[in-house]
Amino acid sequence: MSIRIIIPAILLLLLALVPFGAQTLQVLLTLALAKGIAVMGITVLLRSGQVSFGHALYFAIAAYGGAFTLMLMPGADLIVVFLLGVMAAVLSGVLVGLFVARYRFIFFAMLNLAFSMIFWSILEKFYHYTGGADGMRLPRPTVFWIEMERGAYELFMFYLALALAIGLGWFSMRWLESPTGQLFRTLKTNETRLQYLGMSPQRVLMNGYVLSAMLCGTGGILMGLVQGVVTPEYAYWIRSGEMVFIAVLGGAGSVPGALVGAAIYEIVRTYASAFAGDVWQLVLGSFLLIIILFAPGGIAGIYNSLMDRIAGKKEDGE
């Protein structure tokens, strides 16, 4: 087995052991995994050459969907809350997608931003329903109709997030390799050719858009359930920008890169916020510039070239 596969496998194993070895990291990593799943949505879109500055919209819709479910159906089970939240994100992804799939590049990015700003202002203005800037609470639901203590619940959420991250990550990678995904990626390389093949680019983009909305929604509902509260900040452009940043950091278009990027991002942020909290956007922006200008492959790119070098050396030695 090549070293290229062994290292991620070891990392995953270490991650699965975190609750036993480094419990202080557990909640942090749960949030990182949730964010990583959302970032995979951006990553998928990047494979078609599109970037969205408003995907926090689906992140927030799912979380608010979950909060409303818990408000209207007190005692609803985790499964119900989770599924309804994700469904809300997928549904709004279809509705918004029907509109934005007609656009590319600048318009695509900015129209998404506009939609997320609209949703954000709705959340802030209609405070009778949404709680305004204070947001809504998501009381801890039952898990498979079993009441859980806080510790057990957090442990469960960690493994749920881990399982979802692996499952959805695998699914996204398979999807990108599938015929539908190949067509989707053709949007980046040659959209005209796609049309000559008799496909509708809008419909092709739509497929990926709904998938990305689903991924962002899954991340959002997980985040909401773990934090126990959802605020309009979930939909704010800073959140979208953060997701785009992590996607580029992890390696534009690399699904595992999204997860690694999210983990690194969350850990650095937690420990750096003490002395860089005021200038966090500044630090992010500068890093974004550096990555784009000097290391366009991101973490995944660096990892791959490192692995290539190791593999190359071995061949030389033999």
Partner 1 sequence: MNLTLFLLALFDGIAYAALVFIVAVGLTLIFGVMRILNVAHGSLYAMGAYLTASLTTFVLAAGLPPIFAFPCMLVSAVLIGVVLGGPLEWLLLRRIYHKPEVLQLLVTFAIFMILEDVQRLIWGTQPIFQSAALQLMGNVKVFSVNYTVYQLILLPIVAITLLFGLRFFLRRTVAGKLILATTEDREAAQAIGIDADKVFLLTFIVGAGLAGLGGALASPTTSILPGIGADMIVLSFAVVATAGLGQIEGAALTALMIGLGRSFAVYVWPETQVLVPYLIMVAVLLVRPEGLFGSPSARKI
Residues in contact with partner 1 by the rule CB under 8 A: 46, 49-51, 53, 99, 102-103, 105-107, 109-111, 113-115, 117-118, 121-122, 125-126, 192, 237, 241, 244, 248, 278-282, 284-286, 288-289, 292-293, 296
- In DSSP notation, 173-198 reads HHHHHSHHHHHHHHHHH-HHHHHHTT
If the CB atoms of residues 51 and 221 are measured against partner 1, the closer one turns out to be 51
> In whole angstroms, what is the distance from residue 208 CA to residue 167 CA?
17
Identity at 152, one-letter amino acid code: A
Nearest approach, Cβ of 304 to partner 1 (angstroms)?
19
Q: Which lies closer to partner 1 via its Cβ, residue 90 or residue 113?
A: 113
Report in angstroms how near the CB of residue 149 gets to partner 1 at its nearest.
39
Q: How far is the CB of 296 from partner 1 (least distance, A)?
A: 8
Closer to partner 1 by Cβ: residue 82 or 115:
115
Nearer to partner 1 (CB atom), residue 45 or residue 223? 45
d(CA 130, CA 167): 32
Residues 6+ apart with CB under 8 A from 112: 52, 53, 54, 55, 57, 96, 100, 240
Minimum CB–partner distance for residue 308 and partner 1 (Å): 24
- How far apart are CB 96 and partner 1 at their closest, in Å? 10
User: What residues does 146 pair with on adjacent strands?
Assistant: 143
Of 171 and 237, the one with the shorter C-beta distance to partner 1 is: 237
* 3-state SS, residue 142: strand
C-alpha span between 11 and 264 (Å, rounded): 13
